[in-house]
Chain A
Amino acid sequence: MKTVFEYTRGMRPVTTTYCPGCTHGIAHRLVMEVLVEKGLLGDTIGVSPIGCSILSHDYMNVDMCESAHGRAPAVASGIRRALPNKTVFTYQGDGDLASIGAGEIIHAAHRGELFTTIFINNAIYGMTGGQMAPTTLIGQKSTTGVDGRKKEISGMPLRISELLATIDGAVFVERVALNTPANVRKAKKAIEKAFTVQQMGLGFGLVEVLSTCPTNWGLSPVDSMTWLEENMIPYYPLGNFRCPEEVK
């Protein structure tokens, strides 16, 4: 009998505590599949900062460390400098990366640090309970903006991929989404390329993953997918922003 699907050994055989319909599970799996397929699982160190995904070290079958809120890029820089032959990644949410850790991600990219960042953008703070993030859309409700985000008060949502694509050291930047099977496949391809860039020593790579947060959005998992497609993708266009010739 032919095996058409199996549990990746990149994930530990445990049940996650993520909410029903949350796309962290898909994103975790994609990253781990890529590491398994590249034969890097045993040589990788991951960094999980504060946010729902700080618990990713319970699920991902690689050596991992936690980091303080927003500091994962600095921690990853330190690891990579100590272990120049290993593979290093950070797995960060949007509150973490785009708000409190904006300085760290910009400067890690600016130094062209040789690690890969998986940036989960679900336009809200998950772990702390649905507060507004820099990425929260105009009109989107949050527990710190109950009438919806207003431009006059909070400015326009921050587009991280576009921002980082202006930095020379960020040689690979792509935005993907997890709302359809086709987009999930594209997401995996982008993650694969981002790790290749690291392996080749070309510079810093980031994949922004548009994700859902049904619990804090107050929507069903299915409606969340629709909301992502109708609201997030128009403001956060999918596609590659930077890619070196070597991995095109």
Chain B
Amino acid sequence: MEEKKLMKGNEAFAEAAIRGGCHLYFGYPITPQNEIPEYMSRELSKHGGSFVQAESELAAVNMAYGGALTGHNVFLSSSSPGIALMQEGISFMCSAEIPVVMLNISRGGPGVGGIQPGQADYRQATKGGGNGDYHVPVFAPASVQESVDLIYDAIPIAERYRNPVMILADGMLGQMMEPVTLPEHRAVRSEAELLAEKPWALNGHGDKRERMVIQSLHLKPEELEAHNMHLEEKYQSMRKELPKYQIKNCKDAEIVFVAFGTMSRIVNEAIDQLKTEGITAGLIRPITLWPFPEAAFDEIDPSTKVVISTELAIGQMMEDVKSAVAGRFPVELIYRTGGMVPTPMEVARRAKQILEAIR
């Protein structure tokens, strides 16, 4: 085990991707994730990898598709408006079944918005910003260490399902520094090992086999429907296998907060503050945003008065919370938006007001 290092989030994320085996990176400058392409431009060549500063996020995502269809692991990063531009490629890769791992260091929107932390890409990430029936697993880390671990683990998950996987972090996680323990470098696979593991990857037929095609165009509707049903089977497996969440004293809680990423850390402290005022509160922290961890909501004590979706967005996750709660408890919302981040005190005060109104 390596010693702990104090690392800036963005640099730790880039290093995690390299150690996980992503030696191809394509990116475009956008705040607040610029340290990632900068880090990759310095470090990737040391691992025999390749860094390209693309002309746009649109080009970057398509370069990623090109790199990944050869069986090599590719890492992509951007921030909200850049991720919006990448939607074409994300939908395409889901259809063509090409695995990549991408990271959104999200900021306030809509439009160009601002550069301070936001979670308003929740819907874009979980409901698909691109066209068609597809899903992308979305992991939401709450610390630099957890981001590192989730990026590292996302690489084999993307490979296993042959599907893009997204890590949804935010500007605060990207910019802050925390001690991290970095994972080991994954063993580098030879070209032959890669092709044995990924028989679908294009490498030239070498006059030894039939030519292969990677495609997303299916002009015959019956063919496309069959393809989509095949994809849906994968999504069903993901729904069973991927949900991940953390739960904190939900047993006798009057209030159960639901919060992910940065916001969950603020809520954690708000819970401590509420406790000093005699109010017991718990937290459900979804780690996967898609698939949404609905099972977590079965653990809420029947005596709970209210479930509060707590977001840096205006009720985007609340839609999924309501669906998971399924009418069992009232669902309320606490939010800040546009890059504003509430303090724990602010969350505690609002939660108290909500509770009093319900009592």
Contacts and interface: CB of A to CB of B under 8 A. Distances in A.
B55 A66 contact: no
Contacts of B66: 47, 65, 67, 74-82
A12 to B, nearest CB: 7
Interface in B38-66: 50, 52, 54-56, 58-60, 62-66
A81 B50 contact: yes
A30 interface: no
Interface string A24-54: 0000000000000000011111010010001
Given A42-B206, A74-B62, A66 B96 contact: yes
A62 interface: yes
B63 A74 contact: yes
Interface string A53-67: 010011011111111
B214 interface: yes
Contact of A43 (B88, B206, B213, B215): B206
A167 to B, nearest CB: 13
A104 interface: yes
Contacts of A110: 55
Interface string B187-220: 0000000000000001111111001111111000
Contacts of A63: 202-205, 211-213
B214 A65 contact: yes
A77 B63 contact: yes
Given A75-B65, A76-B66, A81-B24, A42 B205 contact: yes
A111 B214 contact: no
A58 to B, nearest CB: 8
Nearest to A45: B202
A111 B52 contact: yes
B204 A66 contact: no
B213 A64 contact: yes
Given A79-B202, A81-B24, A83-B203, A66 B215 contact: yes
B70 interface: yes
A67 B66 CA distance: 9
B89 A68 contact: yes
Interface residues of A, number: 39
A64 B214 CA distance: 7
Contacts of A61: 205, 211
Give the contact-size bracket for chain B: 35 or more
B96 to A, nearest CB: 7
Contacts of A75: 62-63, 65-66, 69
A193 interface: no
B60 to A, nearest CB: 8
A65 B213 contact: yes
A68 B202 contact: no
B69 A79 contact: yes
Contacts of A20: none
A71 B52 contact: no
A62 B204 contact: yes
B287 to A, nearest CB: 30
B135 interface: no
Interface string A142-186: 000000000000000000000000000000000000000000000
A104 B67 contact: no
Contacts of B139: none
* Most chain A CB inside 10 Å of its own CB: which residue of B58, B70, B207: B70
B55 to A, nearest CB: 4
Interface string B74-90: 10000000000000110
Given A66-B216, A81-B67, A74 B211 contact: no
Contacts of B216: 66
A82 B96 CA distance: 18
Interface string A110-124: 110000000000000
A86 B55 CA distance: 24
A77 B52 contact: yes
A66 B52 CA distance: 21
* Most chain B CB inside 10 Å of its own CB: which residue of A58, A66, A111: A66
A226 to B, nearest CB: 33
Given A68-B92, A78-B26, A86 B59 contact: no
A13 interface: no
18 contacts: A42-B207, A61-B211, A63-B213, A64-B211, A65-B96, A65-B215, A66-B96, A74-B58, A75-B62, A75-B65, A78-B65, A78-B68, A79-B66, A79-B69, A79-B70, A81-B52, A103-B55, A104-B58
Given A61-B205, A62-B211, 8 more contacts: A50-B217, A66-B217, A71-B89, A75-B62, A78-B66, A78-B69, A79-B67, A79-B69
Which 5 A-B pairs give the minimum distances between C-beta atoms? A78-B66, A74-B62, A78-B63, A75-B66, A107-B55
